[in-house]
Structure 1
Amino acid sequence: MRGFVSRTAELARLDHVLLAAGPTGPALVVGTAGVGKTALALRWAHRVAARFPDGQLYVNLRGYDPGAPMTADQALDRFLRALSVPPARIPDDVEDKAALYRSLLAGRRVLVVLDNAAHIGQVRPLLPGGPACRTIVTSRDRLEGVMARDGAQRVTVEVLPEADAITLIRALTTDYRTADEPGERAELARLCARLPLALRIAAERAASRPWMPLAELIGNLRDESRLWDELGSGGEHDGVRAVFALSYRSFSAEAAHMFRVLGLHPSAEFGTHVAAEAAGVPVAAARQLLDAVVGAHMLEQIGADRYQFHDLLRAYATDVAHQDEPPLPRDDARARILAWYLHTAHTVGTVMRTWGRILEPDALPAPAAVPRFPDHDAAVEWCYLEGQNLFAAIQAADESGRDTLTWQLAVATEPAMRGMPSDDRRAAITMALAAARRDGARQGEGELLAKLAEIERTKGQFDEAATCAEEALAIFRELDDRHGVRITLNFLGVSLLHRRKFAEAAERFESLWALQRAEEDLEGETAALFNLAEAYDGIRRHHDAVDAARHSVELARALGNRHFELVGLVILARATANLADAGELGVALADAARGVELARELRDTRTEGWALLDYGRIQRLAGRYDDALVSYRRALERFSNTSVSQRRAWSLDGLGTTCREAGRIEEAVSIHRQAVEVARAAEAPRVLGLILSNLADSLTVAGEDREAGSVRQEAASLLELLDDPEATERLEQVRRALP
């Protein structure tokens, strides 16, 4: 790291704390803002990289940023992605995320750097727990709780000693200036409060003006310091702000304007395109202006076309935006930023769309240039980069009282937020729903209620989901919005499928299919057909299920909708296999295989796992036990977190049943016991009852008749509470096997 000086004692302290043999608590690096905590942590991490062959994880928790700090939930989301967990496999609940994170790090040698933590709640869920991992936490706070409960050891970072501060100035200017007097460097260091952040900015100004006597720079800095003494509140950062001000006033008018409008961005990290829009300049010009700000150490470039502010510098940029930017231009710049997110998110949502509609936003005019996304993967990558900024943009619009913009942003960005923590999604939609109601925007209210219903359904809150959907349906009927009515009716039908009310679902989808045909909505017709096929299959109308599913596949192919095609193929394969015709199993195998292949092509991991469960079952029915074991194991990998624990239980159950039928009885019993544990933890009585009956069958084959009888009694007590066909049939089988 260029210009890093001294800190020998602090580095040695980190060695002592973190390189000790055996488990050790985190190192807590504390000190005032701008003192170099992050630089120290990263310097040490670079020095010891070879000791952590499994990698390093870094996150800026932004605990002292003027905006909202990063939550542990959001940080875990980032870490899991960095650990190659596909978005579809990331749990919704923060505790489940933490459990998956720790399981992935168990046995690995990874260094975790938690930068700029403000409170213990940000830190504790991110501690890896594994004995081979090490953690550095940086904070302005002493975080006593981390020391008391997690065994952290403190490393305090003070301002640089005068000699080291002078050495840093000399290191950063020596290639440009040779005539500076030691006494002048010492005075400059004093005026910078010997803080590395301020020293770097002042040294960069001196280096960029080699003809300017250092005494002149010092005089200018004294003048700025007096001004801040007069205007400031006497806070600990007033002297540092004088350094910022001197550098800011040295910018060209265009660079100063860029710096100011970046202070209006709703978060600390952003990309080149939105910076260009904020400043009202072309992207190429924006890159040049950003380079000027980065060159002055007033902004950090963290990747290709990605930048972030130090929290003190962001606060300063926001201050000068309010001081130096007239109100109308300031509001215009903020509006351009939000308009860029609104219209870019709308473009992304259009690319990611599988069914339904995307409302055209009109709360703000479209920006001069909206990025284009060549394919689905490019759109997903943008969502990953900008997800938190989208949430911040919705908050900023809401705080500014722009109700129309708030709800339109939420509607436009909801597809992009699907990979975000569900609590953030729910918070954004709830905030926007209130804005739509204040705005009297019934269309927006209906759209947001429908989206909230989907969020509740994915979390298993079926009653809450149904309530939201019914409210949305009433609004769409009031507006004579037939498309909204049809989509919401489809959602309510799917909710019936999830609750295994197949007969009611079949009636709902028969009516909906007719309605979609009458409206000539081919996508809606396709969805109604594969959902109808699933309902038919659930009530044992397998021939009708095959016909409906086959028709849905034909329509999906005609539309070029690969997601709909894969869903239709999997349900078609399931229904074909359920016909109990051995001659049809080959057809079912081919359809299921193609469904799995399509899920992989779409990089839809969770849907791939769902398809693999059916594929494994059909392979087992065909006697292809080795292939079935491979499919069930792959499904188990796709469901390796607790947010999909029911499907994890089904994956284990399929493995156990396949082992039993293949004659591997001990394995079957062991795996079925694991499946029971997962189902019991998931608090899913139906799943538990069915899996208990399969464990009992494996125990019987293993000769464990007494335990098998006890297990069947528990299975029967659960299954008799259910009324769906599969549970009823299995209950009869269990009762026949009881003594």
Structure 2
Amino acid sequence: MSGSSRDVVQAGSVSGGVHFHEHGGREQGRPAPRQLLRDTRGFVDRADELEQLNAVLPGRDGEPLVVSICVIAGTAGAGKTTLALHWAHRIKERFPDGQLYINLRGYDPQEPVTAQVALRRFLSALGIPSDAMPNDVEDAAALYRSVVADRRVLIVLDNASTVGQVRPLLPGGDRCLTIVTSRNRLSGLAIRDGAQRLTLGTLPEAEAVALLRVVTAGFRPEESEEKLVELSRLCARLPLALRIAAGGTSQPPGWGKAASHPHMRLDELIADLRDESALWDALSSGDEEEAEAVRTVFAWSYRALPAEASRVFRLLGLHPGPDFGAEAISALVGTPVRRTRHLLDVLVGAHLVEQTGPDRYEFHDLLRVYAADLVREEESGATHREALRRLLDWCLHTADAAQAWVEPEEDRVPLEQHADGVRPLSFADYDRAVEWAERERATVLSAVRAAEAAGWDGHAWRLTLVWRYGQPPSAPAAEWLPVGTIGLRAVRRTGDRAGEARLLDGLGIVHRRLDRPAESLDHHGRAREIWRELGDRRGEAVSLNALGLLELRGRRLAAAEGLFDQAMEAFTERADVAWQAVVLANRARARHEAGLLDEAADDAGGALAIHHDRGDSASVGDALSILSAVHVDRGEPEEGLGSARQALDIALELRDHTLEGFWLLALGDAQRALGDLGAAQESYQRSAALHRRLGDRGREARAWHGAGTVYARLGRHEEAAAFHRQAAVVHRELGDAWSEAVALDGLAASLDAERPDEARRLRRDVLRLVAAFDDPRAVALRSRVASEL
């Protein structure tokens, strides 16, 4: 890497993906991650277990670890997380490069956290910018291992359910320590990865009693040993149950029963638990004694809540997401937000809900299951539907408000009036809308699935379609695809043909971005048929434009221009100026690809003027990126650089990674044309990283080709050849003959000096691949390559 770039490029002989790694992994001056949750106050003993864990540590700091992976396994509620965090806090000074923590949610009713999501969070904490994170899990894991390879980092993987969930998150060396907690034994980590496993049982009687004394210290008089032993037995000597029963000291007093009722006789508390235990004994088979003891404590603590708080707790069992905000719960339970926050505080104080941030909450997985059971047992089906309807209305109408900022030019989805008591959010500006979408993306995606499961097809398809345009601009295209399929099923059940056509077009766009042309063509083709059946000329024109983009992606330029012309005719008939400008820019790109520079400049300039007058910044940036390419091809690199920089500034302001990645290609081309090779290389690098995260392999390969051209200009032909070769392989896999030919042409030039015979063979391949193209740019390429043979 030349110039002032901070990054190192892996090149040379490449057999797999090409990766860009930030030098040093963390930005200069960025603090090391300190992600550990707080240590539990009143931690009691576990002395034997701590001694076993300490055995993996070397005698002196800096020496290799005896074992680099520790698995703490045990039954639910045994205190695995508490032990892991307590030990992590005791030893964290031995890991000066930071501590990483993630709850993998392996036992939640909803889907667990995937390795890809966990890797993104860890890489971000380690200083890797989002535009440099690979989309492929293996590539992300490789980058993660590279970043931590020479560091001493402590990693806590909490609530893992499978080895497959853990293994991509393991560092490769012996300087980092990984602590895994799980209800499963995860034997594969011991067999293959050499992990030390510690099985955590219930607390010994003496430690259980000691925990009860610590938790209630200062709130009630000293109790007899006999009574505390009985209480610990009723709690199965499980820390989670003991803390809930006794009331915690980690929150202000006033919530847990033993701590908040200091004058209540312990005999009464024990009698209450016996009553609950007898109830559950009557309802159970008598198996899984520990699980029933925990449930008994849950039931007792739940029944001690005020009626309004207990209702909130059980209705939380209907929330489909992994965590939740106060506004969403306000809609779910039908109470004002301020009152909802107070009731959530009551649940936090009772240790039934955990607060994870400002206005953000989550369950322990056992408590989530318990709440879900309660809402089924104690609420009617009508109450379920009303609560879920309120939550779905809140998600739908708030997402609609976000779309008004994120994609204001897209048509809004007709919505029904939301239920009484629902207060959707509104947003003062673009950034606030995007921040909400990023914060609630997991909830919205889960809500679509919940709507389908509950039979709310209208909500399912409308929320899917609204989210298509209201989701964060940084969201990978593939993320929407599963809910898009759910929405399509739902809208077909409702018979809303216009909604079906819009979802088909949305799915077609996503498939095109994921380099799936056959699926994209099928979806857009079916959408066009529906629009024609409905007599909706505008809708048909939207599909025609999308089909034109698909042809442009495959470099069938005459077909693309023909479809754009058909769409333009329909939009002109309707005097739809905004869409005319969109199609004008798309036709400009097709003409530029063909080498018709004057015609492309006229179209792009016309589109730019309309978009500028309308204030559509994203479309302004698109037109500027086309003009940049035209300027570069005309030998006007300074003008090209100016246009590309303006476009990129817009993408950064919009926080739109799709636009940023694409327009970085134009910026890199302009910088290369000016001879600023270090800057060009950095632009291609950023583009490749973004497109990998977004799953756009074709444009990622274009960025590799750009990097190859820079290395060739630097006289580093072996590295140039590596990039060109890898780009050609991807384009061949995608069936993109033109882009493969361009990459092979660059590869041939890189091999001329050292391997002239291979270079001649490659040029013959180039001629074969471009034979089907007859546009001016193709004719010029064919003529030049033929002259070089």
Is the TM-score greater than 0.5?
yes
Matching residue's letter, 1:690 = V
Which residue is equivalent to 1:460?
A: 515
> Partner of 2:51 in structure 1?
12
Distance 2:297 2:754 in 1: 81
2:76 match: secondary structure? coil
What amino acid is the match of 1:244?
A: F
Between stretches 708-717 and 33-42, larger displacement belongs to: 708-717
| 3-state SS of 1:154 partner | strand
> Is 1:436 the counterpart of 2:491 in the alignment?
yes
Higher mean C-alpha displacement, 621-630 vs 336-345 = 621-630
Partner of 1:285: 339
1:62 is aligned to 2:116: no
Query: Residues of 2 paired with 1:196 and 1:92: CA distance?
Result: 40
Q: Distance in 2 between matches of 1:627 and 1:424?
A: 32
Whether 2:780 is the aligned partner of 1:729: answer: yes
Structure 1 CA distance for aligned equivalents of residues 486 and 689 of structure 2: 36
Shift of 1:450: 1.5
Structure 1 residue 290: deviation in Å? 0.6
Q: How far did 1:545 drift?
A: 0.5
**Post-superposition offset of 1:11:** 2.9
State the shift of 1:633 in Å. Answer: 4.8
TM-score, normalised to structure 1, is 0.92
Indicate which of 154, 161, 167 corresponds to 1:111.
154
Separation of aligned partners in 2, 1:23 and 1:376: 51
Deviation at 1:99, TM superposition (A): 4.4
Of 421, 441, 446, which aligns to 1:392? 446
Indicate the SS of the match to 1:425. helix
User: What is the aligned partner in structure 2 of residue 475 from structure 1?
Assistant: 530
- 1:368 corresponding residue in structure 2: 422
Instruction: Please tell me whether the aligned partners of residues 684 and 707 of structure 2 are also in contact (alpha carbons under 8 angstroms).
Output: yes
Query: How many Å separate the matches in 2 of 1:186 and 1:380?
Result: 53
Q: Distance in 2 between matches of 1:53 and 1:491?
A: 52
- In structure 2, list runs of 5 or more residues that go unmatched: 1-39, 248-256
Counterpart secondary structure, 2:318: coil
AA partner of residue 101 (structure 2): Y
- In 2, distance between residues paired with 1:235 and 1:64? 20
Match of 1:517?
572
Deviation at 1:364, TM superposition (A): 5.0
Q: Distance in 2 between matches of 1:710 and 1:132?
A: 49
Deviation at 1:637, TM superposition (A): 5.4
Task: Name 2:545's counterpart in structure 1.
Answer: 490
Q: CA deviation at 1:89?
A: 6.0
Trace 1:288-303 onto structure 2 (pairs within 5 A): 288-303=342-357
Q: Sequence identity of aligned pairs in percent?
A: 41
How many angstroms does 1:117 deviate by? Answer: 2.1
Residues 672 and 691 of structure 1 are in contact (CA less than 8 Å); yes or no, is this contact kept in structure 2?
Answer: no
Q: Which amino acid aligns with 2:79?
A: G
Instruction: Specify which of 166, 177, 181 is matched with residue 123 of structure 1.
Output: 166
Q: 1:598 to 1:403 in 2, by over 3 A?
A: closer
Label 1:105 to 1:440 Cα distance change in 2 as closer, same or farther (>3 A). Answer: farther
Deviations 1:619-646 (A, max 9, x none): 3334555654554455455456594454
Match of 1:621 among 670, 673, 679: 673
Q: Report the secondary structure of 1:27's partner residue.
A: strand
Tell me which of 548, 570, 574 is aligned to 2:625: 570
Aligned equivalent of 1:149: 192
Name the SS of the counterpart of 2:55 in structure 1. helix
* Matched AA of 2:672: R
- Whether the 8 Å CA contact 2:67–2:196 is kept in 1: the answer is no
Aligned twin of 1:26: 69
Alpha-carbon distance between aligned partners in 2 of 1:416 and 1:467, rounded to the nearest angstrom: 25
CA contact (8 A) 1:221 1:243 kept: yes
The equivalences for 1:40-189 within 5 A come to 40-80=83-123, 82=125, 92-129=135-172, 131-189=174-232
- Output the aligned Cα RMSD: 2.8
**Is the Cα–Cα contact under 8 Å of residues 23 and 132 in structure 1 kept in the other structure?**
no
What's the CA shift for 1:157?
1.0
Q: What's 2:280 paired with?
A: 228
Distance 1:336 1:400 in 2: 13
C-alpha displacement of 1:462: 0.6
Give, in angstroms, the shift of residue 706 of structure 1.
Answer: 4.8
Determine whether 1:3 maps to 2:42: yes
Aligned-residue offset at 1:384: 2.5
| 1:215-248 per-position Cα deviation (integer Å, ceiling 9, x unaligned) | 1111111111111111234342222111111111
Pairs within 5 Å for 1:656-695: 656-661=708-713, 664-665=714-715, 667-680=716-729, 683=733, 686-695=738-747
Q: How do residues 163-562 of structure 1 correspond to structure 2 at under 5 angstroms?
A: 163-204=206-247, 205-236=257-288, 237-362=291-416, 365=419, 368-417=422-471, 424-562=479-617
Structure 1 residues 654 and 323, CA gap change in structure 2 (3 angstroms): closer
Give CA-to-partner distance per residue, 1:360-418, whole Å, 9 cap, x none: 22285375311222333322322232222222211211111222222222222233556
- Listed one character per residue, the Cα deviations across residues 477-499 of structure 1 (whole Å, up to 9, x for unaligned) are 22233443232222111111100
8 Å contact from structure 1 (residues 356, 487) kept in 2: no
- Residues 429-438 or 69-78, more deviating: 69-78
1:597 equivalent in structure 2 = 649
SS at match of 1:320: helix
Q: How far has the Cα of 1:543 moved from its partner?
A: 0.6
Distance 1:467 1:195, change over 3 A: same
Q: TM-score, normalization: structure 2?
A: 0.86
User: Do the aligned residues in 2 keep the contact of 1:60 with 1:114 (CA within 8 Å)?
Assistant: yes
Q: Distance in 2 between matches of 1:222 and 1:500?
A: 75
1:273 alignment partner AA = E
Contact conserved, 2:64 with 2:174, CA < 8 A, in 1? Answer: no
- Once the 2 structures are TM-superposed, how far is the Cα of residue 42 of structure 1 from its aligned partner? 2.0
TM-superposed CA distance for 1:109, in Å, is: 3.8
Q: 1:98 to 1:643 in 2, by over 3 A?
A: farther
Q: In 2, are the aligned partners of 1:656 and 1:669 still within 8 Å (CA)?
A: no
1:18·1:27 contact (CA, 8 Å) conserved in 2?
A: no
> In proportion to residue count, which structure has more helix?
1
> For 2:672, what is the secondary structure of its paired residue?
helix
Q: Cα gap change, 1:185/1:614 in structure 2, threshold over 3 Å: closer, same or farther? A: same
Aligned to 1:696: 748
How many Å separate the matches in 1 of 2:57 and 2:477? 35
Deviation of 1:594 (Å): 1.3
Q: CA deviation at 1:420?
A: 5.3
Cα distance in 2, alignment partners of residues 626 and 323 from structure 1: 65
SS at match of 1:369: coil
Q: Distance in 2 between matches of 1:439 and 1:432?
A: 11
Is the 2:235–2:242 contact (alpha carbons within 8 Å) kept by the matching residues of 1? yes
Say whether the 8 Å CA contact 2:136–2:692 is kept in structure 1: no
Decide whether the 8 Å contact of 2:72 with 2:182 is kept in 1: yes
The SS at the match of 1:48 is helix
Per chain length, whose mean CA-contact separation is higher, i.e. which structure has more relative contact order (CA < 8 Å, sep 6+)?
Answer: 2
The number of aligned residues is 731
Deviation at 1:79, TM superposition (A): 4.3
Q: For the residues of structure 1 that align with 2:66 and 2:725, how far apart are their CA atoms?
A: 33
Contact kept, 8 Å, 1:300 with 1:308, in 2: the verdict is yes
Provide the C-alpha distance between the structure 2 equivalents of 1:421 and 1:614, rounded to a whole number of angstroms: 21
Partners of 1:193 and 1:239 within 8 A in 2? yes
Which stretch of the first structure deviates more once superposed, 508-517 or 302-311?
A: 508-517
Q: Matched residues in 2 for 1:259 and 1:573: separation?
A: 57
Q: Answer whether contact 1:534 1:545 (CA < 8 A) is retained.
A: yes
1:64 deviates by: 2.0
Return the offset for 1:92.
Answer: 5.0
| Contact 2:668/2:683, CA 8 A, preserved across alignment | yes
Task: Give unmatched runs, 5+ long, in structure 1.
Answer: none
Match of 1:607 in 2: 659
Q: Which amino acid in structure 2 is aligned with residue 571 of structure 1?
A: I
Q: Is the 8 A contact 2:658 2:694 kept in 1?
A: no
- 8 Å Cα contact 1:577/1:588 also seen in 2: yes
Kept in 1, the 8 Å contact 2:704–2:726? The answer is no
